[in-house]
Chain A
């Protein structure tokens, strides 16, 4: 089981009376790719932050890749996230003043895995697979197009060979053509490496890339009994 949630409650510390998440039970098996859709403000991003261990649930069990995130110290959660989880945002996935190469290298620094001498080659390989031409590797990220940035973001998210990839509306700033290219390359890499994928979007047209499709409102019932 890649993800196993039980009786997870979450509210933001500033608003203790407004429960954002209430998930009685939800599971995702390893290697599965799920598409979660829901309205804006429904709690999608909040759920992903809980799954990645950025937020601790107010109550409940969060089991990710066989580890109880809710029982870890924040330091272990940070390390766990660095080693096992790749994460992508809608935008601002790269440090704008670092080049693509260094952005990916930076991500590999926090995993504290043995520095493989092949890191350099690995980054190059990933970038080529993602169709980033070599003369864009050493340009500051802010000079890349949005589509290029999002593809570099895939490389950045995958450099530590995570078992779980979390994507928070990574396509919403892309035009249809780029979107298609992005989805194609993302899903082929994920399938090739047996990566579990949680993909969140309100864009239902993307659902045909997935075989498991869920509506957040089915998983999450914040107004239900506490």
Chain B
């Protein structure tokens, strides 16, 4: 009966109630949405690379190594000699090794020289391997495999020819235009930097640089495409490499051994550790976003309370009547609290529905335009607690009008 009283009383003030309900719904929607996206991006982010035990590069900061090897951001300081790579790759504890060679680009997208092991061992998310939506891995020197974003943005199909540019800026004029590559494969979207990468073989990288010196094209090159494909294209160096180990237990030992490698200064990092360090640096932005949405929510709570407070003035007669039929003064306190709770609960339900609808509709868009994989299931334990906290917060803020109702009931006038 008391629930019915609260509900009917809210229904009786539809206009102002609906407005505060909307404010509340939007604020809960924002808070839940931000929290969900925050979690998802964090998860995506820490899942950018998985199944790789160590990343090895020339000695530099560990963030720098992570950034250029995984995120294709920034520039490597030094290369590693091919011998060093071979030596370490052949160590007994190493199960597999993927060499990485960076430094070229195509229309703003980075080119990654690697071996076909890359498609076999590289994984992201919870051990998702790369898969092809079209074509297959590269086999010829001038084959290229495109990340899904590259293919979509630039409109490439299998069999298309493209030329790579030396350097990593979109406007790079030193084109390797005498040596076009053929698209042989397109990868499925991953939501990781792989989507924005063109993959060629190390031999391909070697081939386009064969008559370059110090970053400048030598004029009058005479070597033909056909000759190149026959030639023994032995890479002299790689930018970095990724290692998978026989046993996780050995990770730290191998890492130490690599860091103490005497012939060349090397750095080995654990991608998971480096990723979380990087995420820590982004947490200021993340926390700011969360704080702003929390403030929006508090504002909505205050809005609801202001609405309830002004309603109490209008409901003087009603309060007096309730008192006369025997309602104790504290009953008014709980009645107003109940009204606030009903609004908060209904807003939670509406916001949940709204968010679910938005995620369903926007999921494909986010993946294709931002490479963001946002799952639909946002009703995680964490978010349920968040909603509970929001309901509690709205009950706490509603103490103000509730107490006013109690006070009015105590000093009832006739």
Bound Cα distance A110, B265 (Å):
83
CA distance A6 to B327 in the complex (A): 27
Query: A89-126: which residues lie under 8 A (CB-CB) from chain B?
Result: 89, 92-98, 102, 105-107, 109-111
Of A46, A74, A106, A168, which one neighbours B325 at CB under 8 angstroms?
Answer: A106
- CB neighbours of B318 from chain A (8 A): 92, 95-96
A contacts with B, residue count (CB < 8 A): 32
Q: Is B5 an interface residue (CB 8 A)?
A: yes
CB neighbours of A164 from chain B (8 A): none
Set of chain B residues within 8 Å of A97, measured between Cβ atoms: 8-9, 11-12
A92 touches B317 (CB 8 A): yes
Determine if A207 is an interface residue (Cβ-Cβ < 8 Å): no
Say whether B323 faces chain A, with CB atoms less than 8 Å apart.
yes
Which residues of A have CB within 8 Å of B411?
Answer: 13
Contact A98 B8 (CB under 8 A): yes
Cβ B324 vs Cβ A87 within 8 A: yes
Interface size class of chain B, counting residues whose CB lies under 8 Å from the partner chain: 20 to 34
Question: In the bound complex, how far is the Cα of B217 from the Cα of A191, in angstroms?
Answer: 117
B:364-414 near A, CB below 8 Å: 411-412, 414
**Complex alpha-carbon distance, A81 and B317, angstroms:** 18
CB pair B12–A78 under 8 Å, yes or no, is no
A74/B328 in contact, CB under 8 A: yes
Taken residue by residue from 1 to 39, chain B's Cβ proximity to chain A (1 for < 8 Å, 0 otherwise) reads as: 110110011011000000000000000000000000000
B362 within 8 A of A: no
Name the CB-closest residue of A to B328: A78
Contacts of B5 in A (CB 8 A): 95, 98, 106
Using a CB-CB cutoff of 8 Å, which residues 297-329 of chain B contact chain A? 317-318, 320-329
Q: List residues of B whose CB falls within 8 A of some A CB.
A: 1-2, 4-5, 8-9, 11-12, 317-318, 320-329, 331, 411-412, 414
User: Which 5 residue pairs spanning A and B have beta carbons closest together?
Assistant: A82-B326, A110-B326, A97-B12, A78-B328, A107-B325
**20 A–B pairs (Cβ distance < 8 Å), ordered by A:** A45-B414, A46-B414, A48-B414, A78-B323, A78-B327, A79-B328, A83-B326, A94-B321, A95-B318, A95-B321, A96-B12, A96-B318, A97-B9, A102-B8, A106-B325, A110-B325, A110-B327, A110-B331, A111-B326, A156-B325
A residues at B contact (CB < 8 Å): 13, 45-46, 48-49, 52, 54, 74-75, 78-79, 81-83, 87, 89, 92-98, 102, 105-107, 109-111, 156, 168
For the complex with contacts A79-B326, A92-B317, A98-B4, 8 further pairs of A-B residues with Cβ separation under 8 Å are A46-B414, A78-B328, A82-B327, A87-B324, A89-B321, A89-B324, A106-B325, A107-B326
